[in-house]
């Protein structure tokens, strides 16, 4: 009975938004706590797109409704998503810095038939949890496989892996091991660190004691990346000859200056660097700095910018009349020219297909950047 009432409310919600002259996008993001930088990057990226392209599409005003999930808090994310659907009658759900929040909202997307754009969360399974989910960010498997292959091709044979102990970390760990051992490499140790408040010192010491040639790391962007880098330096791993290989989350543009010169030479694989040279990236950086001149945009801002581009295209093609199923038809197979390069939504999996770049941390005009030096074109999520 409760479910029937809920369905009736959802049906009413979609009828009302049909007639309204505003398209509402509910952004569920981490605006406070340890992961507050994610919410800032995602909202800035979305606003940058709107600044650059105006806030009216097909005669309808695009409105962002921003809600704070406060961190990895699936119950909060779920309640806020329900409110956005039932009370605010949003046409789209979007945002999601963190995997647990995206997973919690998948059943609501399905039940209410709300197209839901994952702008960051990067565990492979997320898009399989609802036919109304698409992803404009990346998956850990997608960026990790090229790292394992690059390492082997460049002579690395013994690697220790360190990952955050939750969905994306498990994907990174599995993918690295599979790809690296398939080529003939060896994973000599695996560690999982807690997602909140990890004390990296003892973990990093165990890596050092394992005497690998390199350590492969995924921890979420932001404070955790800074914490890992600090322990890596303090425990003298570089001096012991243990190379640092990571996904771009660790050396992301938002924190790279805070990592300091110790980060010079770190090799990573990822989909976006602020140093990417293209007219699209130049325009993006200019739009972003109009929204927030004090921060450098990272991959999350780009995921949000492209997510808004996808939403604008849906509104345009459906002439402002948003229907969940029709919206999904437009999203499947959509191609966009992103600040990171060409991207496409795989029509089968609704996940992103994109270039993955191998980069090295270098100084460019006195500032630290991930300088791309190799491109692997049109990579699909190998986790599917």
Q: Which residues lie near ligand VNL (CB under 6 A)?
A: 38, 97-99, 120-123, 168, 220-221, 249
Min dist CB 118 to ligand VNL, Å, is 9
- Minimum CB distance to ligand VNL smaller for 231 or for 314: 231
Complex with ligand VNL: residue 152 or 200, whichever CB lies closer: 200
At its nearest, how many Å lie between ligand VNL and the CB of residue 100? 7
Minimum Å gap between C-beta 127 and ligand VNL is: 12
Indicate the residue among 26 and 167 with the shorter CB distance to ligand VNL: 167
Cβ nearer to ligand VNL, comparing 62 with 98: 98
166-170 long-range CB contacts below 8 Å, 24 or more apart? 166/72, 166/99, 166/100, 166/195, 167/99, 167/100, 167/103, 167/123, 167/125, 168/99, 168/121, 168/122, 168/123, 168/139, 168/140, 168/218, 168/220, 169/140, 169/195, 169/218, 169/219, 170/123
**Minimum CB distance to ligand VNL smaller for 38 or for 49:** 38
- The answer to whether 221 touches 255, Cβ cutoff 8 Å, is yes
Measured from the CB atom, the residue of 17 and 116 that comes closer to ligand VNL is 116
Cα gap 35→28, rounded to integer Å: 13
Minimum CB separation of residue 354 from ligand VNL in Å reads 15
Distance CA 73, CA 321 (A): 33
CB-wise, 17 or 123, nearer to ligand VNL?
123
In whole angstroms, how close is the CB of 222 to ligand VNL at the nearest point?
Answer: 6
Dist CA 384 CA 378 (whole Å)? 15
Q: How far is the CB of 197 from ligand VNL (least distance, A)?
A: 15
* Shortest Å distance, C-beta 290 to ligand VNL: 24
- Is the CB of 42 or the CB of 156 nearer to ligand VNL? 42
Which one, 17 or 99, has the nearer CB to ligand VNL?
A: 99
Residue closest to ligand VNL when measured from CB atoms: 220
User: What would you measure as the largest C-alpha separation in the chain, in angstroms?
Assistant: 65
Rounded CA-CA distance 104/126 in Å is: 10
Question: What are the backbone dihedrals phi and psi of residue 97, each rounded to the nearest 5 degrees, phi first?
Answer: -70, -40
Nearer to ligand VNL, 62 or 217 (CB): 217
* Closest approach of ligand VNL to the CB of residue 57, in Å: 29
| Shortest distance (Å) from residue 8 CB to ligand VNL | 34
Q: How far is the CB of 187 from ligand VNL (least distance, A)?
A: 21
């Amino acid at each position: 009975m409760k479910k029937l009432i809920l369905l009736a409310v959802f049906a009413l919600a979609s009828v009302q938004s049909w007639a309204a002259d505003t398209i509402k996008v509910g952004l569920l993001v981490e605006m406070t706590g340890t992961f507050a930088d994610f919410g800032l990057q995602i909202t800035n990226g979305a606003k940058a797109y709107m600044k650059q392209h105006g806030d009216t599409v097909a005669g309808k005003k695009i409105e962002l409704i921003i809600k704070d999930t406060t961190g990895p808090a699936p119950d909060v994310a779920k309640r806020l998503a329900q409110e956005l659907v039932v009370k605010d009658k949003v046409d789209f759900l979007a945002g999601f810095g963190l995997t647990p929040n995206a997973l919690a909202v998948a059943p609501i997307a399905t039940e209410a038939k709300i197209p839901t754009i994952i702008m960051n969360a990067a565990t492979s399974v997320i898009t399989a949890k609802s036919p109304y989910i698409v992803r404009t960010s990346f998956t850990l498997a997608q960026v990790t496989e090229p790292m394992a292959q690059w390492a082997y091709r460049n002579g690395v044979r013994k690697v220790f892996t360190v990952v955050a102990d939750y969905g994306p970390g498990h994907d990174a760990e599995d993918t690295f091991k599979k790809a690296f051992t398939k080529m003939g490499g060896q994973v000599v140790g695996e560690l999982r660190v807690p997602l909140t408040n990890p004390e990296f010192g003892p973990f990093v010491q165990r890596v050092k004691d394992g005497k690998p040639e390199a350590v492969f790391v995924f921890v979420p962007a932001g404070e955790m990346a800074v914490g890992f880098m600090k322990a890596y330096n303090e425990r003298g791993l570089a001096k012991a000859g243990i190379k640092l290989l990571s996904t771009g989350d660790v050396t992301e543009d938002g924190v790279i200056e805070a990592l300091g010169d110790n980060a010079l030479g770190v090799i990573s694989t990822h989909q976006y660097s602020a140093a990417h040279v293209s007219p699209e990236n130049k325009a993006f950086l200019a739009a972003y700095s109009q929204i927030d001149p004090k921060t450098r945009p990272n991959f999350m801002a780009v995921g949000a910018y492209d997510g808004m581009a996808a939403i604008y295209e849906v509104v345009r093609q459906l002439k402002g009349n948003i229907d969940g199923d029709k919206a999904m038809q437009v999203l499947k197979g959509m191609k966009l020219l992103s600040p990171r390069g060409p991207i496409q939504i795989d029509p089968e999996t609704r996940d992103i297909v994109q270039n993955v770049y191998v980069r090295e941390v270098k100084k460019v005009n006195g500032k630290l950047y991930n300088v791309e030096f190799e491109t692997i074109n049109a990579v699909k999520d190998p986790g599917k």
